[in-house]
Chain A
Amino acid sequence: MENLISIFLNSVFVGNILLAYFLGMCSFIAVSKNIDTAMGLGFAVVFVLTITTPLNWMIYYFFLAPGALSWVGLPDLDLSFLKFIMFIAVIAAIVQAIEMVIDRFSAGLYSALGVFLPLISVNCAILGASLFMVEREYTFIESVVYGFGSGVGWMLAIVAMAALRIKLRYADIPKGLEDYGIAMIVTGLMAMAFMLFSGISF
């Protein structure tokens, strides 16, 4: 249990997938101009990450990992090189499926998340979390917690950024640094602040 809490807190704060590993920057810069949309995209990312990370865990350990196919009598087979293509296919399929399910059952949720879902299949954070999950050899439960934690961390970062950018509208920024340039510098400062969490031990 303690282990799970530490994975969760680590993925939200210290090892924040956006601020420490730079994943999901493209949509982070593009969508952080408004708090509401940032919130919507953040929720969509949490949702998709919590589903795809454990799903990819199952696919990896039941089909792709070295020796994983011993249950069909092929103990020497190592298909781990296929993980990139499998993961991205799973993510694209799941995003599409989630979109259809939400559309069918919850009109309110669909109007809130619908537009963001297609954006998500090419969000680096989603694929990145799956690849980190393999690299760090998490167990199934850990991968659920890690997926959820990364999503929450990403959402926290983008919502904070959107709030900062609204304040920045009234700031007098040098020409050329406006918009994208200042967004990067603010992100840098925010990443610095998040690094302070690494002093906390659980």
Chain B
Amino acid sequence: MNTYLMAQAPTCYTAPLPPKRVPVTDQPLSFQRMILTLHDYWSDHGCLILQPHDLEMGAGTFHPATTLRALGPDTWNAAFVQPCRRPTDGRYGENPNRLQHYYQYQVILKPSPPDLQDLYLGSLRAIGIDMARHDIRFVEDDWESPTLGAWGLGWEVWCDGMEVTQFTYFQQMGGYDMKPVAGELTYGLERLAMYIQNKDSVYDLAYNDAGVTYGEVFHENEVEMSTWNFEVANTDALFDLFRKHVAECENSLEAKLPIPAYEQAIKASHVFNLLQARGVISVAERQAYMGRVRDLAKGACAAWMDKHADDWTARFPHWSAA
């Protein structure tokens, strides 16, 4: 049943290949060119290039290609862009650094390859960062997502003092020990682009090489979505939605359908974030809501494990869920 996963042999990590699309000039990469370059780079290094998951989520880690696929013994190498929504970070398009909607580039490699740091540095070189002039540092930053029952050790990677990537070796997901451990890279695309293009405002970024800016594409979106997130969204409807997603998640779990259950958990999580932005959840209630979402996500992970356990043990005799 998981044969397509097996196709991703982790054999091609030895010699980093040059990026195929070498920029024709010394001009820094545009936003879209940077994404394409990362796609090429990770594709050349054996990753499936996936598309964003079509649900609102707070971080790329929520993508089922990370959360669910990280579980289990199969090899899994994938890279994708994931739009992230963090309603409380909205600034009506007036802050040059803060957005309620932005992009993360995610790479997930399981098992973590021995030269993951070098592979990562190769990707930075590919998008034009010269390590003879830039100061790259691996600064301790352990990652934890109580919502996903997940944690890992790693670093935030600094380029000249700016955090450009979260680099994590997942140790647990959904409360389960990782067997084997996956390496996860999360690039902040806007930050990296601002850096490469030497721009002080995200809205001034060159989106392409033909003069379209990030602001032209997204500024209006930021203004309207900030207004809606903070001021307009109907909180009664949101509370109602939260309850319904919770119920639907439980319904899916009962039907032993981990993927729909997980999607409902993601939806509930986003609705909770919207309620937070509307300022209608008290500090005391906050914990209870987060606990609810965590239980849903963990339930989905557990269902995923249950569903695949027999197949995994058959193919990996030494593997066990516990």
A binds B: no
